[in-house]
């Protein structure tokens, strides 16, 4: 998503050059219009109705401006508002602005420029706090792009490429599996010059590079939180090697909304980088790697976004159960995500992203200059995977194991969609998604005393298409397992988990003997809290309790599953208390 009327900035060592962008995007806005006047030949109109009428009406004889006398109260007005209409000739001019050369022709009206000025005026209006749904959040993004990215894509093409990339990131965060509605909103873009770029990225040192990038982003921050370009989070893209071979991104965990730590460093190498950006921003939101410190390792092979090695692709990606749980643990503390950068509904996303990019172009983005679609062998469907090769070695074909972008032309009259080459049809029927079959159950979380095991399914039978609905419900199921009583020494599962921290968890400068602690807040009983035997202090171990841990010592029928307390019944299944 892109906020209308924003700026891109090119920064060099000596100066900052600011230039207006996205004139064509303004013409697509839901509340900006251009046109003519019926029965009045030669007349033209440029009007913005985002917050009252503001614009220009031009006839053969004169030009008229219209604007509201007050702004920012349209949502609460019942009887409209007062506007003022005046001629251009009525506007007072300073003497130095009046031309004495009467032979100079009157300049032509530049409609896009007028719209640009209107949009800039509207954007300076103080933003209202949103009154939307509980689980609706907006990450306002500063996008930093270094010289290596600009040079690779070319100054004339890099803008459209970056907007497409960010729209894909936004779409990834809209996936239903996340469980929270998050909009990724681009509010500002800065392109760095060569000298500044090499000063920020320290080759082979991801920690220092990230620190430099975060401090740079902090310096760019607008002082006024209500400014239209005030950002919550910075995303930095580079093609320089900031880490060891294979490192695609680096980010602090749970840094969102922090003035210096809400930032990510990402290696840009094609549209698949959108998953890297989404992954690193996930860390800043509090998400951990799937399978590391949680029990979602079995979801990585199916394209979970937070897999340690990102395997997600355009036709196959989802957020794991653990990612959703970890996000919900922190999201309510990120107050900066609660303000709405728009005054009206979100504008529609652009058309399919591949429409403007051929397979050859996508190969160049993925693997570098000279790479094109591999022609050494034929595939039944070129949309299943994008294979690329270089003319110097045409028989050596490479792939990132993902399909071309949706909308990429694959044959005359056909385009790629969800990994398949399909006929283009503007009137295609919507196809709602349906669940595929269940996977086998995974391993049990406990060897005795009642554990939990999980299975998953995918929304691919068929997948939703042409604006159809996602599959209803969740993509996982679970059941009880190993319900025999444990030996007496192993009865208290929560105590075992606390005891395991004795050797390595330091608190207030020392190690402790940790005892189990049941938090008085019922919403936190599936988070691991332990109490020091020596000092009686209570510490949060920054982990959920293992699946199968009892929620409370006083309740023998409820256990923790993925960080939530669920009640057991019939000895075979589990019912979520929240349902």
Q: What is the DSSP string of 328-344?
A: HHHGGG-GGGGB-S-SS
Neighbours of 158 (CB within 10 A): 18
Tokens (6 digits) for 332: 């309510």
Per-residue pLDDT of 232-280, as tens digits, reads: 999 999 999 998 888 899 999 889 999 999 999 999 989 889 999 999 9
Instruction: Read off the pLDDT of each residue in 140-152 and give the average, rounded to a whole number.
Output: 95
Q: Which residue has the higher pLDDT, 321 or 7?
A: 321
Q: What is the pLDDT of residue 33?
A: 57
- CA separation (Å) from 226 to 104, 125, 388? 43, 9, 46
Q: What residues are annotated to the active site?
A: 280
Q: What are the start-end ranges of the E strands in 32-130?
A: 32-35, 44-48, 54-58, 63-68, 83-87
Give the three-state DSSP class for 397: strand
Residue 79 gets the label, from left (phi > 0), alpha (psi -120 to 50) or beta, of alpha
- Residues near 422 by Cβ (< 8 Å), separated by ≥ 6? 414, 415, 416
Residue 267 pLDDT: 95
In this prediction, residues 370-383 reach a mean pLDDT of: 87
pLDDT at 92: 39
Q: Which of 70, 67, 77 is nearest to 46 (CA)?
A: 67
* Nearest 10 degrees: Cα torsion 69, 75, 77, 83: 20
Listed in sequence order, the DSSP H helices in 80-157 are: 111-123, 147-153
Residue 232 known to bind ligand: yes
Q: Look at residue 80 in the predicted model and tell me its pLDDT.
A: 61
pLDDT at 448 over 70: yes
**Bridge partners for 477 per DSSP:** 455
Q: Contact at 8 Å (CB) between 277 and 141?
A: no
Which tens digits make up the pLDDT trace of 362-374? 999 989 899 999 9
pLDDT band at 417 (very low <50, low <70, confident <90, very high): confident
Name the most confidently modeled range: 20-24, 416-420, 547-551: 547-551
User: Of the spans 102-111, 128-137, 488-497, 512-521, which averages the highest pLDDT?
Assistant: 512-521
459 in a known ligand binding site: no
Q: Is 283 annotated as a binding residue?
A: yes
Q: What is the mean pLDDT of the chain?
A: 79
Contact by Cβ (8 Å): 292, 300:
no
> What integer is the mean pLDDT of 3-9?
57
pLDDT range class, residue 495, cuts 50, 70, 90: very high
Query: Worst-scoring range by mean pLDDT, 209-223, 258-272, 426-440, 448-462?
Result: 426-440
Going by the DSSP 8-state scheme, the letter that residue 544 receives in this structure is E
Check whether 99 has a pLDDT greater than 70: no
Among 36-40, 86-90, 197-201, the range with the most confident prediction by mean pLDDT is 197-201
279 among the known binding-site residues? yes
CA distance 153 to 169: 19
Strand 54-58, strand 63-68: pairing: antiparallel
The pLDDT value given to residue 211: 95
Count the Cβ atoms, other than its own, within 10 Å of residue 379: 11
Lookup: tokens for 388: 């690329």
On the question of pLDDT at 531 being above 90, the answer is yes
Cα 34 to chain centroid distance, Å, stands at 32
pTM of the model as a whole: 0.55
- Identify the pLDDT of residue 34: 55
Supply the pLDDT for residue 532.
94
Q: pLDDT tens digit string along 323-363?
A: 999 999 999 889 999 887 654 333 344 578 888 889 999 99
Tell me how far apart the alpha carbons of residues 358 and 573 are, in angstroms, rounded to a whole number. Answer: 50
Q: Any binding-site annotation on 233? A: no
Long-range contacts of 254-257 (CB under 8 A, 24+ apart): 254/284, 254/285, 254/286, 254/330, 255/284, 256/139, 256/232, 256/284, 256/285, 256/286, 256/330, 256/334, 256/336, 256/337, 257/232, 257/334, 257/335, 257/336, 257/337
Q: What is the mean pLDDT of residues 92-111?
A: 34
Q: Are 71 and 84 in contact (CB under 8 A)?
A: no
pLDDT of 299 above 60: yes
Tokens of residue 326, six digits = 């970890």
């Amino acid at each position: 998503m892109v906020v209308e009327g924003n700026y891109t900035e090119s920064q060099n060592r000596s100066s900052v050059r600011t230039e207006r962008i996205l004139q064509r995007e303004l013409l697509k806005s839901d509340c900006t219009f251009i046109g003519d006047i019926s029965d009045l030949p030669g007349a033209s109109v440029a009007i913005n109705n985002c917050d009252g009428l503001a614009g220009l009406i031009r006839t053969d004889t004169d030009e008229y401006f219209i604007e509201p006398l007050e702004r920012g109260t349209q949502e609460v007005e019942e009887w409209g508002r007062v506007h003022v209409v005046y001629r251009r000739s009525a506007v007072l001019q300073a003497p130095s602005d009046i031309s004495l050369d009467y032979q100079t022709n009157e300049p032509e009206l530049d409609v896009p420029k007028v719209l640009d000025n209107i949009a800039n005026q509207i954007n300076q209006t103080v933003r209202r706090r949103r009154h939307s749904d509980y689980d609706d959040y907006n990450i306002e993004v500063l996008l930093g792009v270094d010289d290596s990215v600009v040079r690779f894509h070319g100054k004339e093409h890099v803008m459209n490429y970056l907007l497409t990339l960010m729209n894909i990131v936004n779409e990834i965060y809209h996936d239903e599996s996340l469980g929270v509605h998050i909009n990724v909103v681009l509010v500002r873009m800065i392109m760095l010059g060569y000298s500044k770029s090499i000063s920020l990225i320290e080759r082979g040192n991801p920690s220092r590079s990230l620190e430099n990038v975060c401090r740079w982003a902090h310096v760019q921050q607008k002082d006024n939180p209500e400014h239209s370009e005030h950002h919550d989070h910075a995303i930095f893209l580079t093609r320089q090697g900031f880490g060891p071979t294979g490192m695609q991104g680096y980010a602090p965990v749970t840094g969102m909304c922090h003035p210096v730590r809400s930032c990510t460093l990402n290696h840009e190498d094609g549209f698949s980088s959108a998953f890297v950006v989404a992954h690193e921003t996930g860390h800043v939101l509090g998400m951990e790697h799937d399978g590391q410190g949680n029990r979602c390792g079995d979801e990585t092979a199916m394209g979970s976004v937070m897999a340690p090695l990102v395997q997600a692709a355009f036709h196959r990606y989802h957020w794991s159960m653990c990612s959703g749980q970890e996000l919900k643990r922190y999201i309510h503390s990120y107050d900066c995500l609660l303000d709405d950068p728009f005054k009206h509904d979100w504008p529609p996303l652009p058309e399919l992203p591949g429409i403007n990019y051929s397979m050859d172009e996508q190969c160049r983005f993925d693997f570098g200059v000279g790479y094109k679609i591999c022609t050494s062998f034929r595939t039944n469907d070129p949309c299943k995977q994008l294979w690329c090769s270089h003319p110097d070695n045409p028989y050596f074909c490479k792939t990132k194991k993902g399909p071309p972008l949706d909308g990429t032309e694959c044959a005359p009259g056909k385009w790629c969609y969800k990994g398949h080459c399909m006929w283009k049809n503007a009137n295609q029927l919507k196809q709602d998604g349906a669940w595929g079959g269940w996977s086998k159950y995974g391993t049990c979380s406990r060897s005795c005393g009642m554990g939990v095991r999980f299975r998953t399914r995918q929304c691919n039978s068929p997948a939703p298409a042409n604006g159809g609905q996602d599959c209803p419900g969740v993509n996982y199921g679970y059941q009880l397992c190993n319900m025999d009583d444990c030996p007496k020494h192993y009865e208290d599962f929560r105590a075992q988990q606390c005891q395991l921290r004795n050797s390595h968890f330091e608190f207030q400068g020392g190690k402790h003997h940790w005892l189990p602690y049941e938090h008085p807040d019922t919403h936190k009983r599936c988070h691991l809290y332990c109490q020091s035997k020596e000092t009686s202090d209570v510490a949060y171990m920054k982990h959920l309790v293992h699946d199968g841990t009892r929620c409370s010592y006083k309740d023998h029928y409820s256990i923790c599953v993925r960080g939530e307390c669920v009640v057991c019944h019939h000895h075979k299944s589990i019912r979520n208390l929240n349902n």
